[in-house]
Amino acid sequence: MAVLALDTSASVTVAVVGDDGARLARREAPERRRHAEALAPLVDEALAEAGVDRSELTAVAVGTGPAPFTGLRVGLVTARAIGFALGVPVLGVPSLDALATQAVSDLGLAPDDEVLVATDARRREVYWARYRVVAHEGPHAVPVVETVAGPDVGPAATVAEHAAGAVVVGEGASLYADVLDLAEDAPLVPDAAVLARLAMARRDAGAEQPTEPLYLRRPDVQEPAGAKRVSDGTATAEPR
């Protein structure tokens, strides 16, 4: 039995994790514009490497962002489709949470240390959240963290004001190193294996794990407003 995990909040990352939390396979593609084309082959490759048939999956874990609309939607739709086809639960985990717990392990952070995660939101903005370490290791060997600020989105320079005293990780910090002080050896994008373990730990604790996406801002493309009548009987677009 195993859990399939995938995240498309940044790059495309896929992992297969055993029920004991051991990573059986992992695949990643540094895609930012072609998530749909990259994801399905990576899922097939990861399952093949792990020697796991889809029928053996007990759950699907998926990163819920925040992230730009299109890429994030690809991961969520794929996870829901696989879960529906197999009749297994789909467990949503905020991608920032996964990156924060990953940082605790990778950087050896201790209880009461704080970490600020910043990921790329484009437009010289970052998605961010700040966490406090509760325990270095909890169920399924996953660190326990709690959110102390965010998640939110804003200019990197403004987010830097929230970083004082925290270890800073994430691709957003690497992109805007002029204002955000990225920690040495900090993880940049979520690891799907960590996301899977976090989903399993929260599932075992009875926590709800909705798969609603965290966009934090409106999509760039929006539907035009409805038409309205003018005095000559013609229809014009309602201004926004």
State pLDDT tens for residues 183-230.
999 999 999 999 999 999 999 999 999 999 999 976 554 455 554 454
At residue 137, the pLDDT reads 87
Q: Look at residue 1 and tell me whether its pLDDT is greater than 80.
A: yes
Class of domain 96-175: alpha beta
Q: Which two tokens stand for residue 82?
A: 């696989």
How far is Cα 89 from Cα 86, in angstroms, rounded to an integer?
Answer: 9
Nearest-CA neighbor of 127 among 48, 189, 39? 189
**Paired strand residues for 218:** none
Q: Are 74 and 82 in contact (CB under 8 A)?
A: no
Between 167 and 29, name the one with better pLDDT: 167
DSSP assignment string, 111-170: TT-EEEEEEEEETTEEEEEEEEEEES--GGG--EEEEEEEEEEEEHHHHGGG-TTSEEES
- The mean pLDDT of the chain is 91
- Give every CB contact of residue 178 below 8 A, 6+ residues apart in sequence: none
| Confidence (pTM) | 0.89
Q: What is the dihedral of CA 131, 136, 139, 140, to 10 degrees?
A: 100
If you search the block for the tokens 């005293």, which residue do you land on?
Answer: 165
Q: Does domain 2-94+190-204 have CATH number 3.30.420.40?
A: yes
At residue 128, the pLDDT reads 98
- Sheet bearing 23-29, strands edge to edge: 23-29, 12-18, 2-7, 57-63, 90-93
- Range scoring the smallest mean pLDDT among 64-73, 147-156, 157-166, 223-232: 223-232
- Sheet bearing 144-155, strands edge to edge: 144-155, 125-135, 114-122, 167-169
- Residue ranges, CATH 3.30.420.40, the chain: 2-94+190-204
Q: Are 235 and 227 in contact (CB under 8 A)?
A: yes
State pLDDT tens for residues 101-139.
999 999 999 999 999 999 999 988 999 999 999 999 888
State pLDDT tens for residues 32-44.
777 788 899 999 9
Q: Are 74 and 104 in contact (CB under 8 A)?
A: no
3-state secondary structure (DSSP) of residue 227: strand
Q: Which two tokens stand for residue 37?
A: 């084309």
At residue 226, the pLDDT reads 53
Q: Where are the alpha helices (DSSP H) in the chain?
A: 35-50, 69-86, 95-107, 156-159, 171-175, 192-204
